[in-house]
Chains A and B, each alone.
Chain A
Amino acid sequence: MTKNDNYVIKVENVTKKFKVFYDKANTLKERLVFWKRKNNSEDRVVLENINLNIKKGETVALIGVNGSGKSTLLKLMTKIIYPTKGKIITHGKLTSLLELGAGFHEDFTGRENIYFNASIFGLTHSEIDKRIEDIIKFSELENFIDNPVRTYSSGMYMRLAFSVAINVDAEILLIDEILAVGDQHFQDKCFNKLKELRDSDKTVVIVSHSIDAVKRLCTRGIWINKGHIRMDGDIDVVIDEYLKECK
Protein backbone atom coordinates (compact mmCIF):
# COMPACT_ATOMS: atom_id res chain seq x y z
CA MET A 1 0.00 0.00 0.00
CA THR A 2 1.30 3.43 -0.79
CA LYS A 3 1.86 5.79 2.09
CA ASN A 4 -0.14 8.79 0.99
CA ASP A 5 -3.52 7.18 0.45
CA ASN A 6 -5.14 4.25 2.15
CA TYR A 7 -7.31 2.95 -0.65
CA VAL A 8 -7.22 -0.79 -1.04
CA ILE A 9 -9.35 -0.89 -4.17
CA LYS A 10 -9.12 1.83 -6.74
CA VAL A 11 -11.28 1.69 -9.83
CA GLU A 12 -10.30 4.25 -12.44
CA ASN A 13 -12.44 5.09 -15.49
CA VAL A 14 -13.33 1.47 -15.97
CA THR A 15 -15.44 0.48 -18.92
CA LYS A 16 -16.30 -3.13 -19.63
CA LYS A 17 -17.77 -4.31 -22.88
CA PHE A 18 -18.79 -7.84 -23.64
CA LYS A 19 -18.98 -9.19 -27.12
CA VAL A 20 -22.35 -10.73 -27.65
CA PHE A 21 -22.31 -13.28 -30.44
CA TYR A 22 -25.37 -14.19 -32.35
CA ASP A 23 -23.83 -17.20 -33.97
CA LYS A 24 -20.40 -17.79 -32.71
CA ALA A 25 -17.90 -18.83 -35.36
CA ASN A 26 -15.34 -20.69 -33.41
CA THR A 27 -13.81 -23.29 -35.63
CA LEU A 28 -11.20 -22.40 -38.16
CA LYS A 29 -13.43 -23.54 -40.98
CA GLU A 30 -16.21 -21.23 -39.95
CA ARG A 31 -13.78 -18.37 -39.53
CA LEU A 32 -12.33 -18.94 -42.97
CA VAL A 33 -15.66 -19.42 -44.69
CA PHE A 34 -17.37 -16.52 -42.96
CA TRP A 35 -14.39 -14.21 -42.71
CA LYS A 36 -16.29 -11.41 -44.39
CA ARG A 37 -19.22 -11.65 -42.06
CA LYS A 38 -17.94 -9.45 -39.27
CA ASN A 39 -21.26 -8.13 -38.05
CA ASN A 40 -22.48 -11.20 -36.24
CA SER A 41 -21.42 -9.80 -32.93
CA GLU A 42 -22.27 -6.72 -31.02
CA ASP A 43 -20.58 -4.96 -28.14
CA ARG A 44 -22.67 -4.62 -25.07
CA VAL A 45 -21.49 -2.08 -22.54
CA VAL A 46 -21.95 -3.52 -19.08
CA LEU A 47 -20.08 -0.92 -17.12
CA GLU A 48 -19.26 2.56 -18.30
CA ASN A 49 -16.70 4.91 -16.85
CA ILE A 50 -16.80 3.69 -13.28
CA ASN A 51 -14.71 5.54 -10.72
CA LEU A 52 -14.56 4.14 -7.25
CA ASN A 53 -12.33 4.16 -4.23
CA ILE A 54 -12.72 1.76 -1.38
CA LYS A 55 -10.79 2.46 1.78
CA LYS A 56 -9.17 -0.04 4.06
CA GLY A 57 -11.60 -1.40 6.62
CA GLU A 58 -14.77 -0.38 4.82
CA THR A 59 -17.67 -2.75 4.39
CA VAL A 60 -19.35 -1.92 1.13
CA ALA A 61 -22.54 -3.25 -0.41
CA LEU A 62 -23.12 -3.14 -4.15
CA ILE A 63 -26.82 -3.05 -4.85
CA GLY A 64 -28.90 -2.77 -7.96
CA VAL A 65 -31.38 -4.67 -10.08
CA ASN A 66 -30.44 -7.79 -12.03
CA GLY A 67 -28.15 -7.14 -14.96
CA SER A 68 -26.96 -3.79 -13.71
CA GLY A 69 -23.31 -4.86 -13.68
CA LYS A 70 -22.67 -5.50 -9.98
CA SER A 71 -21.27 -8.97 -10.44
CA THR A 72 -19.18 -7.86 -13.39
CA LEU A 73 -17.63 -5.17 -11.26
CA LEU A 74 -16.84 -7.72 -8.60
CA LYS A 75 -15.26 -10.05 -11.14
CA LEU A 76 -13.16 -7.20 -12.44
CA MET A 77 -11.90 -6.54 -8.92
CA THR A 78 -10.83 -10.16 -8.52
CA LYS A 79 -8.95 -10.10 -11.85
CA ILE A 80 -10.94 -12.97 -13.28
CA ILE A 81 -11.88 -10.68 -16.16
CA TYR A 82 -10.14 -7.50 -17.24
CA PRO A 83 -11.57 -4.08 -18.08
CA THR A 84 -11.86 -2.96 -21.69
CA LYS A 85 -10.74 0.52 -20.67
CA GLY A 86 -9.36 1.98 -17.47
CA LYS A 87 -7.68 0.12 -14.67
CA ILE A 88 -8.23 -1.38 -11.29
CA ILE A 89 -5.62 -1.38 -8.57
CA THR A 90 -5.91 -3.49 -5.46
CA HIS A 91 -3.57 -3.66 -2.49
CA GLY A 92 -3.35 -6.69 -0.29
CA LYS A 93 -4.38 -10.29 -0.35
CA LEU A 94 -7.73 -10.70 -1.98
CA THR A 95 -10.20 -13.55 -1.70
CA SER A 96 -13.37 -13.82 -3.68
CA LEU A 97 -16.43 -15.87 -3.03
CA LEU A 98 -18.11 -15.73 -6.39
CA GLU A 99 -19.40 -19.21 -6.17
CA LEU A 100 -18.90 -21.51 -3.25
CA GLY A 101 -16.89 -24.62 -3.76
CA ALA A 102 -15.21 -23.59 -7.00
CA GLY A 103 -12.49 -26.10 -7.56
CA PHE A 104 -13.84 -28.74 -5.22
CA HIS A 105 -12.99 -32.20 -6.38
CA GLU A 106 -15.86 -34.64 -5.90
CA ASP A 107 -13.74 -37.71 -5.18
CA PHE A 108 -11.44 -36.08 -2.67
CA THR A 109 -12.32 -36.01 0.99
CA GLY A 110 -13.46 -32.88 2.76
CA ARG A 111 -10.04 -32.47 4.30
CA GLU A 112 -8.21 -32.82 0.97
CA ASN A 113 -10.59 -30.33 -0.56
CA ILE A 114 -9.85 -27.84 2.19
CA TYR A 115 -6.18 -28.06 1.24
CA PHE A 116 -6.91 -27.80 -2.45
CA ASN A 117 -9.41 -24.98 -2.13
CA ALA A 118 -7.25 -22.98 0.24
CA SER A 119 -4.24 -23.44 -2.03
CA ILE A 120 -6.22 -21.84 -4.87
CA PHE A 121 -6.53 -18.82 -2.61
CA GLY A 122 -2.75 -18.79 -2.38
CA LEU A 123 -2.11 -20.36 1.01
CA THR A 124 0.89 -22.56 1.67
CA HIS A 125 0.76 -25.96 3.28
CA SER A 126 1.89 -24.79 6.70
CA GLU A 127 -0.56 -21.88 6.63
CA ILE A 128 -3.38 -24.31 5.94
CA ASP A 129 -2.15 -26.65 8.67
CA LYS A 130 -2.52 -23.80 11.12
CA ARG A 131 -6.08 -23.07 10.07
CA ILE A 132 -7.47 -26.49 9.35
CA GLU A 133 -8.90 -27.04 12.83
CA ASP A 134 -10.67 -23.69 12.73
CA ILE A 135 -12.05 -24.44 9.30
CA ILE A 136 -13.39 -27.85 10.27
CA LYS A 137 -14.82 -26.51 13.51
CA PHE A 138 -16.52 -23.63 11.76
CA SER A 139 -18.08 -25.93 9.18
CA GLU A 140 -19.35 -28.31 11.93
CA LEU A 141 -18.50 -31.24 9.70
CA GLU A 142 -16.16 -33.03 12.11
CA ASN A 143 -17.84 -36.38 11.52
CA PHE A 144 -17.76 -36.18 7.75
CA ILE A 145 -14.49 -34.46 7.04
CA ASP A 146 -12.73 -37.62 5.86
CA ASN A 147 -15.54 -38.70 3.54
CA PRO A 148 -15.50 -37.86 -0.16
CA VAL A 149 -17.26 -34.60 -0.93
CA ARG A 150 -19.63 -36.30 -3.37
CA THR A 151 -21.36 -37.90 -0.39
CA TYR A 152 -22.15 -34.48 1.08
CA SER A 153 -25.54 -32.85 0.94
CA SER A 154 -25.66 -29.49 -0.79
CA GLY A 155 -25.91 -27.75 2.57
CA MET A 156 -22.80 -29.48 3.86
CA TYR A 157 -21.00 -28.65 0.64
CA MET A 158 -21.81 -24.99 1.05
CA ARG A 159 -20.81 -24.97 4.68
CA LEU A 160 -17.41 -26.43 3.91
CA ALA A 161 -16.81 -24.02 1.07
CA PHE A 162 -17.83 -21.00 3.11
CA SER A 163 -15.68 -22.08 6.03
CA VAL A 164 -12.59 -22.30 3.85
CA ALA A 165 -13.14 -18.94 2.22
CA ILE A 166 -13.90 -17.10 5.41
CA ASN A 167 -10.86 -18.48 7.19
CA VAL A 168 -8.14 -17.71 4.64
CA ASP A 169 -7.50 -14.36 6.31
CA ALA A 170 -7.63 -12.21 3.24
CA GLU A 171 -7.32 -8.48 3.62
CA ILE A 172 -10.01 -7.93 1.01
CA LEU A 173 -13.03 -10.18 0.80
CA LEU A 174 -15.35 -10.03 -2.19
CA ILE A 175 -18.67 -11.81 -1.79
CA ASP A 176 -21.31 -12.40 -4.41
CA GLU A 177 -24.80 -13.25 -3.21
CA ILE A 178 -23.99 -16.07 -0.87
CA LEU A 179 -25.28 -14.84 2.44
CA ALA A 180 -27.95 -17.50 2.37
CA VAL A 181 -25.80 -20.48 3.24
CA GLY A 182 -27.15 -23.49 5.07
CA ASP A 183 -29.76 -23.49 7.81
CA GLN A 184 -30.72 -20.63 10.08
CA HIS A 185 -28.14 -21.59 12.65
CA PHE A 186 -25.30 -21.57 10.16
CA GLN A 187 -26.54 -18.40 8.50
CA ASP A 188 -26.41 -16.60 11.82
CA LYS A 189 -22.93 -17.91 12.35
CA CYS A 190 -21.77 -16.64 8.97
CA PHE A 191 -23.40 -13.33 9.62
CA ASN A 192 -21.61 -12.98 12.93
CA LYS A 193 -18.31 -13.93 11.31
CA LEU A 194 -18.81 -11.26 8.65
CA LYS A 195 -19.62 -8.76 11.39
CA GLU A 196 -16.40 -9.72 13.09
CA LEU A 197 -14.52 -9.09 9.84
CA ARG A 198 -16.26 -5.76 9.45
CA ASP A 199 -15.15 -4.65 12.90
CA SER A 200 -11.57 -5.69 12.19
CA ASP A 201 -9.52 -3.85 9.60
CA LYS A 202 -10.60 -6.14 6.77
CA THR A 203 -12.22 -4.72 3.69
CA VAL A 204 -15.40 -6.42 2.56
CA VAL A 205 -17.38 -5.88 -0.64
CA ILE A 206 -20.73 -7.62 -0.88
CA VAL A 207 -23.10 -7.99 -3.77
CA SER A 208 -26.50 -8.90 -2.47
CA HIS A 209 -30.21 -8.62 -2.95
CA SER A 210 -31.04 -9.32 0.66
CA ILE A 211 -31.45 -5.70 1.63
CA ASP A 212 -32.03 -6.49 5.29
CA ALA A 213 -28.78 -8.32 5.83
CA VAL A 214 -26.80 -5.76 3.90
CA LYS A 215 -28.31 -2.96 5.90
CA ARG A 216 -27.23 -4.51 9.16
CA LEU A 217 -23.79 -5.43 7.92
CA CYS A 218 -22.45 -2.68 5.72
CA THR A 219 -21.53 0.91 6.30
CA ARG A 220 -21.45 2.14 2.75
CA GLY A 221 -23.74 1.42 -0.13
CA ILE A 222 -23.10 1.78 -3.83
CA TRP A 223 -26.11 1.62 -6.10
CA ILE A 224 -25.31 0.57 -9.61
CA ASN A 225 -27.86 1.12 -12.32
CA LYS A 226 -27.41 0.22 -15.98
CA GLY A 227 -23.65 0.25 -15.77
CA HIS A 228 -23.33 3.56 -13.98
CA ILE A 229 -22.97 4.46 -10.34
CA ARG A 230 -26.32 5.92 -9.42
CA MET A 231 -25.59 6.68 -5.82
CA ASP A 232 -22.73 6.21 -3.39
CA GLY A 233 -22.92 6.94 0.30
CA ASP A 234 -24.27 5.91 3.68
CA ILE A 235 -25.94 2.53 3.44
CA ASP A 236 -29.30 3.60 4.93
CA VAL A 237 -29.68 6.56 2.61
CA VAL A 238 -28.75 4.59 -0.48
CA ILE A 239 -31.10 1.74 0.37
CA ASP A 240 -34.00 4.11 1.05
CA GLU A 241 -33.55 5.72 -2.35
CA TYR A 242 -33.14 2.34 -4.01
CA LEU A 243 -36.33 0.99 -2.46
CA LYS A 244 -38.23 4.10 -3.48
CA GLU A 245 -37.14 3.57 -7.07
CA CYS A 246 -38.07 -0.09 -7.00
CA LYS A 247 -41.63 0.66 -6.00
Chain B
Amino acid sequence: MQLINNLYQYRELLKSNVKKEIRGKYKGSFLGILWSFINPLLQVVVYAIVFPYIMRIKTDNYLIYLIIGIIPWTFFTTVLNQGMITVRMNAGIIKKVYFPREILPISVALSGLINFFISCIIIILFCIFGGVGITWHILFLPLIALLQFFLTLGIIFAFSAINIYIKDCEYIINFFTNMLFYATPILYQTTLFPEKVRWILYLNPLTELIEAYRDIFLYHQVPGFNEIIYLIIIAIIIFLLGLMIFRKLEKGFAEEV
Protein backbone atom coordinates (compact mmCIF):
# COMPACT_ATOMS: atom_id res chain seq x y z
CA MET B 1 0.00 0.00 0.00
CA GLN B 2 2.72 2.39 1.00
CA LEU B 3 4.45 1.46 -2.24
CA ILE B 4 1.51 2.61 -4.35
CA ASN B 5 1.28 5.79 -2.32
CA ASN B 6 4.96 6.53 -2.84
CA LEU B 7 4.75 5.79 -6.54
CA TYR B 8 1.80 8.10 -6.92
CA GLN B 9 3.54 10.93 -5.13
CA TYR B 10 6.76 10.47 -7.07
CA ARG B 11 5.09 9.71 -10.41
CA GLU B 12 6.98 12.46 -12.18
CA LEU B 13 10.30 10.97 -11.12
CA LEU B 14 9.12 7.54 -12.25
CA LYS B 15 8.09 8.94 -15.59
CA SER B 16 11.33 10.77 -16.29
CA ASN B 17 13.34 7.78 -15.08
CA VAL B 18 11.53 5.45 -17.46
CA LYS B 19 12.20 7.89 -20.27
CA LYS B 20 15.84 8.01 -19.32
CA GLU B 21 16.06 4.21 -19.29
CA ILE B 22 14.49 3.87 -22.72
CA ARG B 23 16.41 6.67 -24.39
CA GLY B 24 19.64 6.43 -22.46
CA LYS B 25 20.55 2.84 -23.32
CA TYR B 26 21.50 3.37 -26.93
CA LYS B 27 22.38 7.01 -26.53
CA GLY B 28 24.96 8.20 -29.00
CA SER B 29 24.52 5.30 -31.41
CA PHE B 30 23.42 6.11 -34.93
CA LEU B 31 20.28 4.00 -34.97
CA GLY B 32 19.40 4.84 -31.38
CA ILE B 33 16.35 3.15 -29.97
CA LEU B 34 15.93 1.04 -33.11
CA TRP B 35 18.66 -1.19 -31.72
CA SER B 36 16.30 -2.63 -29.13
CA PHE B 37 14.36 -4.15 -32.06
CA ILE B 38 17.24 -4.92 -34.37
CA ASN B 39 19.12 -6.87 -31.70
CA PRO B 40 16.52 -9.59 -31.15
CA LEU B 41 15.89 -9.76 -34.90
CA LEU B 42 19.55 -10.39 -35.62
CA GLN B 43 19.56 -13.05 -32.94
CA VAL B 44 16.58 -14.66 -34.63
CA VAL B 45 18.42 -14.64 -37.96
CA VAL B 46 21.34 -16.51 -36.41
CA TYR B 47 19.17 -19.19 -34.83
CA ALA B 48 16.96 -19.48 -37.90
CA ILE B 49 20.04 -20.36 -39.91
CA VAL B 50 21.80 -22.53 -37.36
CA PHE B 51 19.00 -24.73 -36.11
CA PRO B 52 17.07 -25.92 -39.16
CA TYR B 53 20.14 -26.42 -41.34
CA ILE B 54 22.86 -27.49 -38.97
CA MET B 55 20.94 -29.09 -36.11
CA ARG B 56 18.15 -30.23 -38.43
CA ILE B 57 15.31 -29.27 -36.15
CA LYS B 58 11.97 -29.59 -37.88
CA THR B 59 9.23 -27.37 -36.49
CA ASP B 60 6.38 -25.83 -38.44
CA ASN B 61 6.74 -22.09 -38.89
CA TYR B 62 10.10 -22.26 -37.16
CA LEU B 63 10.93 -18.62 -37.85
CA ILE B 64 7.77 -17.37 -36.15
CA TYR B 65 8.18 -19.97 -33.43
CA LEU B 66 11.64 -18.53 -32.76
CA ILE B 67 10.57 -14.90 -32.78
CA ILE B 68 7.81 -15.51 -30.26
CA GLY B 69 10.44 -17.13 -28.04
CA ILE B 70 13.25 -14.64 -28.49
CA ILE B 71 11.34 -11.38 -28.00
CA PRO B 72 9.88 -12.21 -24.55
CA TRP B 73 13.27 -13.66 -23.64
CA THR B 74 14.93 -10.37 -24.62
CA PHE B 75 12.42 -8.55 -22.44
CA PHE B 76 13.43 -10.79 -19.55
CA THR B 77 17.20 -10.49 -19.96
CA THR B 78 17.31 -6.76 -20.70
CA VAL B 79 15.34 -6.01 -17.58
CA LEU B 80 17.44 -8.43 -15.57
CA ASN B 81 20.77 -7.05 -16.80
CA GLN B 82 19.81 -3.41 -16.42
CA GLY B 83 17.94 -4.01 -13.19
CA MET B 84 20.80 -5.80 -11.47
CA ILE B 85 23.02 -2.74 -11.67
CA THR B 86 20.44 0.01 -11.38
CA VAL B 87 21.03 0.76 -7.70
CA ARG B 88 24.78 0.84 -8.22
CA MET B 89 24.45 3.04 -11.30
CA ASN B 90 22.44 5.59 -9.37
CA ALA B 91 24.81 5.73 -6.42
CA GLY B 92 25.23 9.47 -7.00
CA ILE B 93 21.66 10.41 -6.24
CA ILE B 94 21.15 7.70 -3.64
CA LYS B 95 23.87 9.25 -1.51
CA LYS B 96 22.54 12.77 -1.86
CA VAL B 97 18.78 12.77 -2.00
CA TYR B 98 15.97 10.87 -0.43
CA PHE B 99 13.39 9.34 -2.73
CA PRO B 100 11.64 5.99 -2.65
CA ARG B 101 14.40 3.66 -3.82
CA GLU B 102 11.88 1.23 -5.30
CA ILE B 103 11.51 3.68 -8.16
CA LEU B 104 14.83 2.54 -9.63
CA PRO B 105 14.05 -1.14 -10.32
CA ILE B 106 10.45 -0.32 -11.16
CA SER B 107 11.46 2.12 -13.87
CA VAL B 108 13.81 -0.45 -15.39
CA ALA B 109 11.05 -3.06 -15.49
CA LEU B 110 8.52 -0.56 -16.78
CA SER B 111 10.78 0.60 -19.60
CA GLY B 112 11.30 -3.07 -20.49
CA LEU B 113 7.56 -3.63 -20.57
CA ILE B 114 7.00 -0.66 -22.87
CA ASN B 115 9.79 -1.85 -25.13
CA PHE B 116 8.24 -5.30 -25.19
CA PHE B 117 4.85 -4.02 -26.23
CA ILE B 118 6.47 -2.14 -29.10
CA SER B 119 8.43 -5.27 -30.05
CA CYS B 120 5.18 -7.19 -30.21
CA ILE B 121 4.47 -5.26 -33.39
CA ILE B 122 7.32 -7.26 -34.93
CA ILE B 123 5.70 -10.51 -33.82
CA ILE B 124 2.36 -9.40 -35.23
CA LEU B 125 3.94 -8.39 -38.54
CA PHE B 126 5.62 -11.77 -38.84
CA CYS B 127 2.38 -13.54 -37.97
CA ILE B 128 0.46 -11.64 -40.63
CA PHE B 129 3.02 -11.91 -43.41
CA GLY B 130 4.16 -15.39 -42.38
CA GLY B 131 0.74 -16.76 -43.16
CA VAL B 132 -0.24 -17.52 -39.57
CA GLY B 133 -2.54 -14.53 -39.11
CA ILE B 134 -3.85 -13.16 -35.85
CA THR B 135 -7.01 -13.86 -33.87
CA TRP B 136 -8.81 -12.48 -30.84
CA HIS B 137 -6.55 -14.59 -28.60
CA ILE B 138 -4.13 -11.71 -28.76
CA LEU B 139 -6.29 -10.05 -26.10
CA PHE B 140 -4.51 -12.23 -23.55
CA LEU B 141 -1.23 -10.46 -24.30
CA PRO B 142 -1.50 -7.75 -21.60
CA LEU B 143 -2.25 -10.34 -18.90
CA ILE B 144 0.71 -12.53 -19.81
CA ALA B 145 3.05 -9.58 -20.24
CA LEU B 146 1.97 -8.24 -16.85
CA LEU B 147 2.69 -11.58 -15.22
CA GLN B 148 6.15 -11.54 -16.75
CA PHE B 149 6.56 -7.93 -15.58
CA PHE B 150 5.85 -8.77 -11.92
CA LEU B 151 7.96 -11.90 -12.03
CA THR B 152 10.95 -10.04 -13.44
CA LEU B 153 10.42 -7.06 -11.16
CA GLY B 154 10.49 -9.35 -8.12
CA ILE B 155 13.76 -10.85 -9.30
CA ILE B 156 15.46 -7.50 -9.87
CA PHE B 157 14.13 -6.11 -6.58
CA ALA B 158 16.01 -8.87 -4.82
CA PHE B 159 19.19 -8.90 -6.84
CA SER B 160 19.67 -5.16 -7.35
CA ALA B 161 19.73 -4.92 -3.54
CA ILE B 162 21.86 -8.00 -2.89
CA ASN B 163 24.29 -6.88 -5.58
CA ILE B 164 25.19 -3.85 -3.47
CA TYR B 165 26.44 -6.08 -0.67
CA ILE B 166 27.85 -8.95 -2.72
CA LYS B 167 29.20 -7.66 -5.99
CA ASP B 168 29.69 -11.14 -7.45
CA CYS B 169 25.97 -11.54 -7.69
CA GLU B 170 26.07 -9.94 -11.12
CA TYR B 171 28.39 -12.57 -12.57
CA ILE B 172 26.62 -15.49 -10.97
CA ILE B 173 23.31 -14.29 -12.38
CA ASN B 174 24.90 -13.88 -15.80
CA PHE B 175 25.86 -17.51 -15.76
CA PHE B 176 22.39 -18.57 -14.66
CA THR B 177 20.68 -16.60 -17.40
CA ASN B 178 22.87 -18.37 -19.93
CA MET B 179 21.78 -21.72 -18.54
CA LEU B 180 18.19 -20.64 -18.33
CA PHE B 181 18.19 -19.81 -22.01
CA TYR B 182 18.65 -23.48 -22.79
CA ALA B 183 16.30 -24.60 -20.03
CA THR B 184 13.50 -22.63 -21.69
CA PRO B 185 11.88 -23.93 -24.88
CA ILE B 186 12.95 -21.01 -27.04
CA LEU B 187 14.90 -22.86 -29.72
CA TYR B 188 13.26 -26.26 -29.34
CA GLN B 189 9.90 -27.75 -28.48
CA THR B 190 9.19 -29.37 -25.14
CA THR B 191 8.06 -32.50 -26.98
CA LEU B 192 11.73 -33.07 -27.67
CA PHE B 193 12.00 -34.45 -24.16
CA PRO B 194 10.52 -37.77 -23.00
CA GLU B 195 7.34 -37.28 -21.08
CA LYS B 196 8.90 -38.53 -17.84
CA VAL B 197 11.30 -35.63 -17.46
CA ARG B 198 9.29 -32.96 -19.24
CA TRP B 199 7.72 -31.69 -16.01
CA ILE B 200 11.12 -30.38 -14.89
CA LEU B 201 11.00 -27.96 -17.81
CA TYR B 202 7.62 -26.74 -16.64
CA LEU B 203 8.90 -25.80 -13.20
CA ASN B 204 10.57 -22.90 -14.94
CA PRO B 205 7.93 -20.16 -15.09
CA LEU B 206 9.52 -18.84 -18.28
CA THR B 207 8.46 -22.04 -20.01
CA GLU B 208 4.82 -21.34 -19.18
CA LEU B 209 5.22 -17.73 -20.22
CA ILE B 210 6.71 -18.49 -23.61
CA GLU B 211 4.23 -21.27 -24.28
CA ALA B 212 1.43 -18.87 -23.41
CA TYR B 213 2.79 -16.31 -25.88
CA ARG B 214 2.92 -19.04 -28.51
CA ASP B 215 -0.62 -20.09 -27.71
CA ILE B 216 -1.99 -16.64 -28.41
CA PHE B 217 0.18 -15.70 -31.38
CA LEU B 218 0.94 -18.95 -33.17
CA TYR B 219 -1.54 -21.65 -32.17
CA HIS B 220 -4.52 -19.35 -31.67
CA GLN B 221 -5.76 -20.95 -28.51
CA VAL B 222 -6.52 -19.85 -24.97
CA PRO B 223 -3.49 -20.42 -22.70
CA GLY B 224 -3.90 -23.36 -20.33
CA PHE B 225 -5.81 -22.51 -17.18
CA ASN B 226 -3.50 -24.44 -14.85
CA GLU B 227 -0.44 -22.84 -16.38
CA ILE B 228 -1.84 -19.34 -15.89
CA ILE B 229 -2.73 -20.08 -12.26
CA TYR B 230 0.76 -21.43 -11.68
CA LEU B 231 2.22 -18.27 -13.23
CA ILE B 232 0.04 -15.98 -11.13
CA ILE B 233 1.06 -17.72 -7.92
CA ILE B 234 4.76 -17.74 -8.80
CA ALA B 235 4.69 -14.10 -9.92
CA ILE B 236 3.02 -12.97 -6.69
CA ILE B 237 5.39 -14.97 -4.49
CA ILE B 238 8.52 -13.78 -6.27
CA PHE B 239 7.32 -10.18 -6.41
CA LEU B 240 6.53 -10.02 -2.69
CA LEU B 241 9.70 -11.86 -1.73
CA GLY B 242 11.80 -9.54 -3.87
CA LEU B 243 10.13 -6.47 -2.44
CA MET B 244 10.71 -7.75 1.08
CA ILE B 245 14.42 -8.31 0.43
CA PHE B 246 14.70 -4.87 -1.17
CA ARG B 247 12.97 -3.20 1.79
CA LYS B 248 15.22 -5.00 4.20
CA LEU B 249 18.42 -3.99 2.43
CA GLU B 250 17.63 -0.50 1.11
CA LYS B 251 18.44 1.20 4.40
CA GLY B 252 22.11 0.50 3.92
CA PHE B 253 22.33 1.57 0.28
CA ALA B 254 23.79 5.03 0.92
CA GLU B 255 26.52 3.60 3.13
CA GLU B 256 27.41 0.54 1.10
CA VAL B 257 27.15 1.65 -2.48
Task: Tell me, yes or no, whether A binds B.
Answer: yes
Interface size on A, residues (CB 8 A): 31
Cβ–Cβ contact B12 & A80, under 8 A: no
Contact code string B156-178 (vs A, CB < 8 Å = 1, else 0): 00000000001110001000000
Cβ–Cβ contact B168 & A94, under 8 A: no
Cβ–Cβ contact A123 & B98, under 8 A: no
Given A27-B168, A102-B92, A122-B9, answer yes or no on A80-B97 (Cβ-Cβ < 8 Å). Answer: yes
Cβ–Cβ contact B13 & A120, under 8 A: yes
Cβ–Cβ contact B96 & A119, under 8 A: no
Cβ–Cβ contact B168 & A116, under 8 A: no
Given A18-B255, A26-B167, A102-B92, answer yes or no on A96-B12 (Cβ-Cβ < 8 Å). Answer: no
Cβ contact of B10, chosen from A29, A98, A102, A122, cutoff 8 A: A122
Q: Does B11 contact A (CB under 8 A)?
A: yes
Cβ–Cβ contact B167 & A128, under 8 A: no
Which chain A positions have C-beta within 8 A of B254? 75, 80-81
Cβ contact of A79, chosen from B16, B93, B98, cutoff 8 A: B98
Which chain A positions have C-beta within 8 A of B10? 119, 122
Report the contact-size class of chain B (Cβ under 8 Å from the partner).
20 to 34
Please provide the chain B residues from 67 to 97 with a CB less than 8 Å away from any CB of chain A in the complex. 92-97
Which chain A positions have C-beta within 8 A of B13? 119-120, 122
Cβ–Cβ contact B167 & A98, under 8 A: no
Which residues in B have some Cβ–Cβ distance to A below 8 Å?
Answer: 9-13, 15-16, 20, 27, 92-99, 166-168, 172, 251-252, 254-255
A-B contact pairs, 14 of them (CB 8 A): A26-B166, A26-B167, A80-B98, A81-B255, A94-B98, A98-B97, A102-B97, A103-B93, A115-B16, A119-B13, A119-B15, A121-B99, A123-B12, A128-B12
Instruction: List 8 extra interface pairs beyond A80-B97, A102-B92, A119-B16, CB under 8 A.
Output: A31-B166, A78-B97, A81-B251, A82-B251, A103-B93, A125-B12, A125-B15, A128-B12
